[in-house]
Amino acid sequence: MYKRVLCAAALLAGLLVIGGGALAAADRGDDRRRDRPRVLHLVERVAGAPTFDDGGAPGPSVGDRIIFSADIFDARDRKVGRDGADCVVVRTDPSQPDPVEQQIVQCMVTVELADGQITFQGLAQGTENDFAVTGGTGAYRRARGEAHVDDRVFLQSSDVTITLTG
């Protein structure tokens, strides 16, 4: 009887150690995935001319819209997707000397890649801006993070760095 109890106790202890180790490894794996952001370095090249809708007063003003679509390339210059953006002028800043810097726009952007879509949005002014990643589809369905857009040539070509943390 004593041997059975001792064997059962040893077996239970072994299962607890193995099971606990597996759970700890799984927890560490989950933490590592959450702690390591996924970074996508992309290049956006606007396809065709952007559409400008002069919805407010004549000239640059609140209510104007800039709508465009672009092809997306990776660091090796391979086409990997496309995007679309809709930006509305929400404020003007006449103190800025450059007309591009004068317009403050609210932009919504969707990047479509082979394994899903990533959406981001935010305020933009000038040629270098950060946006909040608001979600996605497919492989990016739990996407959260930030997108940094640095225009090489305004409304023609941009470097886009998307850092996904979710």
Give me the CATH number covering residue 87. 2.40.480.10
Question: Measuring CA to CA, which residue among 93, 88, 158 is closest to residue 130?
Answer: 158
A 10 A CB-CB count for 139 gives 15
Alpha-carbon distance of 122 to 84, in angstroms, equals 14
Is 27 found in the same domain as 54? no
- Does residue 29 sit in the same domain as residue 54? no
Taking a C-beta distance cutoff of 8 angstroms, is the pair 115, 91 a contact?
Answer: no
Whether the full predicted model's pTM is greater than 0.95, yes or no, is no
Over its length of 166 residues, how does the chain's per-residue pLDDT go in tens digits? 333 433 333 333 343 333 444 434 444 444 455 568 999 999 999 988 888 899 878 877 899 999 999 999 999 999 999 999 999 999 998 888 887 788 999 999 999 999 999 999 999 999 999 999 999 999 999 999 999 999 988 888 999 999 999 7
Residues 60 and 23 in one domain: no
What pLDDT is stored for residue 24 in this prediction? 41
What's residue 50's pLDDT? 87
pLDDT for res 57: 82
Same domain, 98 and 29: no
The upper half-sphere exposure of residue 99, i.e. CA atoms within 13 Å in the direction of its Cβ, equals 4
Same domain, 63 and 96: yes
Do 87 and 144 share a domain, yes or no?
Answer: yes
**Which structural domain range is residue 57 located in?**
38-164
Q: How many domains does the chain have?
A: 2
Record the tokens describing residue 139, joined without a space.
Answer: 């492989």
Say whether both 21 and 69 belong to one domain: no
